[in-house]
């Protein structure tokens, strides 16, 4: 019964055109709270993250909705390319974190580094090179962690005016 329903669904899916605003495969519309502004050579364009939240706008009170790379998260360590939490991107640990949480954040940040290194190898002329340079340079230490930062907030690195339009 279930198998025949899946076959029926597959037939219907092949004939239905997805809506124009549908996210491509492996992408999802998610709320991004912060943007890391980098120059094309991986330097900070600003010592502060840009906050995309607008308390006066109900739709943007937690940030702006963007279509971003998305692979289902697990309870394990699984970084996301170019858009992730401050724990993964910067190695930020929440105040009062237990030693096990601190160690986990270290592993998350290391996994993000590995992902960026792989991305850079796969696309040497793309935006990953600037992010890789930023991560390796220690520039992250100059970045001020916002007072309103939450460990679940997403941050994006996709604002490099001299690399991307």
In tens, the pLDDT along 47-106 reads: 899 999 999 999 899 999 888 877 766 778 989 888 899 999 999 999 999 999 999 999
Percent of the chain with pLDDT over 70: 81
Residue 18 lies in a domain: no
Residue 12 lies in a domain: no
pLDDT of 163 > 50? The answer is: no
Q: How confident is the model at residue 140 (pLDDT cuts 50, 70, 90)?
A: confident
Mean pLDDT of the region 10-25:
61
Domains held by the chain: number: 1
Residue 120 lies in a domain: yes
pLDDT of residue 2: 47
Burial class for 123, CB neighbours closer than 10 Å (0-12, 13-18, 19+): exposed
pLDDT of residue 134: 93
Pick the closest to residue 114 from 154, 65, 77 (CA basis). Answer: 77
Does residue 160 or residue 44 have the better pLDDT?
44
Distance separating alpha carbons of residues 154 and 85, to the nearest angstrom: 5
pTM here? Answer: 0.78
Residue 32 lies in a domain: yes
Residue 9 lies in a domain: no
Q: Provide the pairing of β-strand 154-159 with 34-37.
A: parallel
Residue 139 lies in a domain: yes
pLDDT of residue 1: 52
pLDDT of residue 106: 96
> How far are the Cα atoms of 10, 135, 156 from residue 65, in angstroms, in the given order?
30, 25, 12
User: 34 pairs with which residues across the strands?
Assistant: 51, 155
3-state secondary structure of 126: coil
Residue given tokens 């495969």 in the structure block: 25
- Domain span at residue 98 reads 23-159
Q: How confident is the model at residue 7 (pLDDT cuts 50, 70, 90)?
A: low
pLDDT of residue 40: 86
Distance separating alpha carbons of residues 64 and 51, to the nearest angstrom: 9
Arithmetic mean of pLDDT over the chain: 83
pLDDT of 113 > 90? The answer is: yes
Residue 91 lies in a domain: yes
Mean pLDDT of the region 115-125:
92
Token pair listed for 125: 């002329």
pLDDT of 43 > 60? The answer is: yes
Residue 6 lies in a domain: no
């Amino acid at each position: 019964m279930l198998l025949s329903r899946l076959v029926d669904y597959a037939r219907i899916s092949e004939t239905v055109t997805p809506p124009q605003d549908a996210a491509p495969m492996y992408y999802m519309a998610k709320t991004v709270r912060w943007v890391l502004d980098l120059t094309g050579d991986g330097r900070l364009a600003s010592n502060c993250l840009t906050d995309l939240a607008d308390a006066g706008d109900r739709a943007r009170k937690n940030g702006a909705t963007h279509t971003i790379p998305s692979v289902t998260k697990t309870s394990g360590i699984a970084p996301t390319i170019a858009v992730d939490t401050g724990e993964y991107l910067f190695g930020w640990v929440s105040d009062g974190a237990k030693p096990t949480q601190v160690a986990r954040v270290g592993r998350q940040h290391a996994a993000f580094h590995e992902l960026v290194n792989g991305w850079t190898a796969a696309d040497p002329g793309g935006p990953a090179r600037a992010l890789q340079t930023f991560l390796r340079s220690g520039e992250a230490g100059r970045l001020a962690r916002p007072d309103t930062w939450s460990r679940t907030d997403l941050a994006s690195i996709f604002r490099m005016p001299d690399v991307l339009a």
